[in-house]
Each structure stands twice: as C-alpha cells, then as structure tokens.
C-alpha cells in the first residue's frame, strides 16, 4: 500500500478543511509547492492534489496544479473539477500520473466511460461516501447510490482505482473507516484508495490489511499527529 500526502488547493494556498466545509479551514500554507517539496524530502514518492475551487465552482488553480505536477519531484494524482476528457488530457500532458474524476463521472455514465476508455488504467473515480451512500457536489447532494453497488459497476471498466472518501471522517482525525475499505475490496478488483480520518500508523496498517492500494493523508501530517518521515519509510514507496 502506498501513502499519498494531500495538497488541497484553495485561492492559491494549501489548505485543510474539516468535513469539506470551507468555513472550517484548519490549515493554510502560503506556498503549496514548497510543501510538496517538503513531502518529497520526507521520502514520499506520490502526491495527491485536489483543486477545491475548481471542484466547487469557486474558481480554479490550474496553473498552480500544473506547477505541482511538473516541479514537485513526486508522482502526482490530481483532481478537482475535471469534467471533460480535454481537461483530463491537459493534466496528463502536464505530467500527471493519474487523474481523478468525481461528480460528473458519477452522474454521467457516458462521460465516465469516455474518459476511462481514453486513458485506460490512469483514471481514478472519486466516490465520496456518507453512511455508505455516494454523495456529490461538495458532499451536499445525495445520490441514493450505495458505494458497494457503484464499486461493483466501476469494476467493469479499466479504471486506475476508486478514491473513497469517508466524509464523516474527513479532517476530523477520527481514524480511518477500515470496514468501508474492506467491504469494497471484497466486491471489486479495482484498486481502492482510502481517504478520510487517517490518523495513526495503526490506521495505515489496518487499511493495508483490508486490501487498500493506497491511503491519502492530510490533516494528520499537517498537525503532526503523524510523523511524515515514519509514514514515508513504511508506506511511501
């Protein structure tokens, strides 16, 4: 299992929110590229970048995102507001290893298939989950779709993985939802990337034992709850 430190972009800054709530910002770092390079110095090899402004329709940080992809020294999976095949291609052209698609890929099966077929094995579908239900549009819209059913459906496509964010754990340092990860690895062969609540090395070990392919870590690294160098030694490569 690989650990991916997270850089969430808001207004050109690196931030961490609790529960995805813009009013509940707990971390703000002025230089996201310096932070990415700090993760590289710790020993991480991958980076997870999300343009929150693009994802929520508040603007975009495209130029900064492309700089992170090109200059961080890390392999990058990137998402946030990727709603067209052309935008995905732009990020791949910038050097992204994987591109994450979210709301439109959930709501528009034709787009989902088009973008996955255009970049087989390199598209990660993001599914944000609350009470085992997929939610969209900044976690505000319920879909009535169970995450298990959606994961089973995605398994028919050549995707690069499913990014499952446990919304109820996001930014709260409440521990990872290991049971959710295990449930999904039992219904699909697609790689599962877990996000939300990762706080301890034990969380990472349990996600690994549950079959997780990767874990996205945000708040715990920024607050010091997790020692980045220790995480990178065990899960950074």
Q: Which of 51, 128, 177, 203 is catalytic?
A: 128
* Degrees to nearest 5, angle at CA 19 with 186 and 32: 100
Task: Please give the Cα distance from 148 to 83 (Å, whole number).
Answer: 23
Q: Where are the beta strands (DSSP E) in 147-200?
A: 161-166, 192-195
Strand 46-51 versus strand 75-79 pairing type: parallel
Task: Please give the Cα distance from 208 to 181 (Å, whole number).
Answer: 9
Q: Which of 8, 53, 177, 203 is catalytic?
A: 8
Task: Please give the Cα distance from 112 to 67 (Å, whole number).
Answer: 26
Does residue 108 have an active-site annotation? no
Strand 214-217 versus strand 2-10 pairing type: parallel
Q: Which of 235, 228, 230 is nearest to 7 (CA)?
A: 228
Does residue 203 have an active-site annotation? no
| Helix (H/G/I), strand (E/B), else coil: 161 | strand
> What residues act catalytically?
8, 128
């Amino acid at each position: 299992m690989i650990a991916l430190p997270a850089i969430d972009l808001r207004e050109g800054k690196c931030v961490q929110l609790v529960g995805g709530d813009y009013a509940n910002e707990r971390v703000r770092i002025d230089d996201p590229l310096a932070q990415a390079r700090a993760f590289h110095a710790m020993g991480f090899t991958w980076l997870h970048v999300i343009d929150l402004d693009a994802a929520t329709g508040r603007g975009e940080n495209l130029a900064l995102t492309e700089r992170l992809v090109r200059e961080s020294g890390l392999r990058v999976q990137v998402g946030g507001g990727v709603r067209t095949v052309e935008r995905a291609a732009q990020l791949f052209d910038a050097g992204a290893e994987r591109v994450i698609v979210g709301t439109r890929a959930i709501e528009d099966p034709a787009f989902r298939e088009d973008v996955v077929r255009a970049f087989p094995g390199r598209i990660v579908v993001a599914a944000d989950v609350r009470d085992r239900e997929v939610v969209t549009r900044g976690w505000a819209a319920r879909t009535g779709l169970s995450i298990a059913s959606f994961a089973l459906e995605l398994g028919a496509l050549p995707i690069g993985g499913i990014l499952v964010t446990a919304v109820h754990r996001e930014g709260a340092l409440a521990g990872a939802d290991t049971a959710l990860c295990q449930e999904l690895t039992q219904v699909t062969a697609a790689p599962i990337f877990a996000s939300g609540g990762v706080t301890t090395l034990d969380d990472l070990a349990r996600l690994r034992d549950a079959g997780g392919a990767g874990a996205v870590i945000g708040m715990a690294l920024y607050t010091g709850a997790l020692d980045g160098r220790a995480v990178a030694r065990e899960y950074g490569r």
